[in-house]
């Protein structure tokens, strides 16, 4: 079964054709990073206008690269939420229009569920139940997944999501946007020699990252980090601050994720979302976890449509499709 997937929830316009939920025939991603970076973050109105310009060429390219025509497509999948309303609407309406015109089933996909299903696009065998660590720009969730489409939310962020914290920390250090990859790069040549607070949220599986970010802000504002060449010598460098921040966030994510996996005695941990592309997180989790850790390849961690097609395949197998009344749901929850 071949599913054309469409993803427009934030600032990537993406379309993909995936066969039987695991074989990627094409996965085209048009990033808007360059456009938004001059504003220091995603501007929702600009994002939706850019999706309007890119969506048709991106879908056409995905079909061309998959080397198939519409007659060979069996269903249309599209991210219906959560995400930016205007951005989601472009994908949802395009998906509906194609499904209607081609008389194909329409499958609306939860973006976070899509991130989880990026793990089904690898050759690894997944054995339920698993713990999913979802770390993206908007979410830091710990979810127990007992089977396809069965989720129990056990932990979440109380304030900033992990990706959001990376983006804000990068802004504080003047590194630019998007913060995650820039903090990672800066951290490579820094030493994690600044003690930043870790919020353990004892007795819960929840996270809180705003304290770490605020501590960094106070240090930067208080002149305790060498943010430019004129700073007095002896201060920790920008790279040291990035390394310290990354280590603190990764430490909390890894420790809490492994603790939950031990408590529930699962065999595997699945990692998903843009922050799963972080090398320190990947290496630390794999090193410290007594359980098998599955993490998608870098390109499938950040937003892409292949993960949406993969997720839709399992929904379709379970008999779940959507009607023409399907709407964009900016605040859609996973569980």
In the complex, the smallest distance separating the C-beta of residue 102 from ligand KG4, rounded to whole angstroms, is 28
Using alpha carbons only, how large is the chain's radius of gyration in Å?
A: 20
Q: Are 289 and 303 in contact, with CB atoms under 8 Å apart?
A: no
Should residue 5 be labelled a site residue for ligand KG4 when binding is judged by CB under 6 A?
no
CA 309 to CA 24: how far, in whole Å?
9
On the CB side of 191, CA atoms within 13 Å amount to 4
Should residue 322 be labelled a site residue for Zn ion when binding is judged by CB under 5 A?
no
Compute, in degrees rounded to 10, the torsion defined by CA atoms 60, 62, 67, 71: -70
In the complex, the smallest distance separating the C-beta of residue 176 from Zn ion, rounded to whole angstroms, is 20
Should residue 118 be labelled a site residue for ligand KG4 when binding is judged by CB under 6 A?
no
Q: Which does 296 bind (CB under 5 to 8 A by kind): Zn ion, ligand KG4, none?
A: none
Should residue 273 be labelled a site residue for ligand KG4 when binding is judged by CB under 6 A?
yes
Q: Which is nearer to ligand KG4, 63 or 270 (CB)?
A: 270
DSSP for residue 154: E
Q: Of the ranges 131-139, 188-196, 197-205, 215-223, which one interacts with ligand KG4 (CB under 6 A)?
A: 131-139
CA 129 to CA 126: how far, in whole Å?
9
Q: Which does 181 bind (CB under 5 to 8 A by kind): Zn ion, ligand KG4, none?
A: ligand KG4
Q: Which does 95 bind (CB under 5 to 8 A by kind): ligand KG4, Zn ion, none?
A: none
Q: Which does 138 bind (CB under 5 to 8 A by kind): ligand KG4, Zn ion, none?
A: ligand KG4
Should residue 136 be labelled a site residue for Zn ion when binding is judged by CB under 5 A?
yes
Q: Of the ranges 16-24, 133-141, 206-214, 260-268, which one interacts with ligand KG4 (CB under 6 A)?
A: 133-141
161 contacts: CB under 8 Å, gap ≥ 6: 135, 136, 137, 138, 139, 140, 209
Q: Are 75 and 312 in contact, with CB atoms under 8 Å apart?
A: yes
Q: Which helix (H) or strand (E) holds 221?
A: helix 210-221
Residues that bind ligand KG4 (CB under 6 A): 10, 136-138, 163-164, 166-167, 178-181, 184, 273-275, 277-278, 302-303
């Amino acid at each position: 079964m071949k599913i054309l997937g469409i993803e427009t929830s934030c600032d990537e316009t993406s379309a993909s054709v995936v066969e039987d939920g695991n074989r990627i025939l094409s996965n085209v991603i048009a990033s808007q990073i360059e456009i938004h970076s001059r504003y220091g973050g995603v501007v929702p109105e600009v994002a939706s206008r850019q999706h309007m310009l890119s969506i048709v060429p991106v879908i056409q390219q995905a079909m061309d690269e998959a080397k198939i025509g519409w007659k060979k497509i069996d269903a249309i999948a599209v991210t219906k939420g959560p995400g930016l309303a205007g951005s989601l609407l472009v994908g949802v309406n395009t998906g509906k229009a194609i499904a209607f015109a081609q008389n194909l089933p329409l499958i609306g996909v939860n973006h976070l569920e899509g991130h989880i299903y990026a793990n089904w696009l690898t050759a690894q065998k997944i054995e339920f139940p698993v713990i999913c660590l979802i770390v993206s720009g908007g979410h830091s969730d710990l979810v127990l997944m007992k089977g396809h489409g069965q989720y129990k939310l056990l932990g979440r962020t109380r304030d900033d999501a992990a990706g959001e914290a990376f983006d804000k920390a990068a802004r504080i250090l003047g590194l630019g946007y998007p913060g995650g990859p820039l903090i990672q790069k800066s951290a490579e040549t820094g030493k994690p020699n600044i003690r930043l607070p870790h919020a353990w949220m004892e007795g819960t599986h929840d996270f809180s990252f705003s304290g770490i970010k605020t501590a960094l802000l106070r240090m930067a504002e208080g002149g305790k980090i060498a943010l430019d060449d004129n700073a007095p010598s002896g201060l920790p460098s920008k790279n040291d601050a990035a390394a310290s921040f990354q280590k603190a966030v990764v430490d909390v994510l890894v420790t809490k994720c492994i603790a939950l996996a031990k408590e529930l005695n699962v065999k595997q941990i699945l990692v998903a979302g843009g922050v799963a592309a972080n090398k320190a997180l990947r290496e630390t989790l794999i090193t410290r976890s007594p359980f098998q850790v599955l993490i998608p390849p870098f390109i499938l961690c950040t937003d892409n449509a292949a993960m949406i097609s993969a997720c839709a395949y399992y929904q379709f197998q379970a008999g779940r499709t959507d009607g023409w009344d399907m709407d964009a749901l900016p605040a859609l929850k996973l569980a």
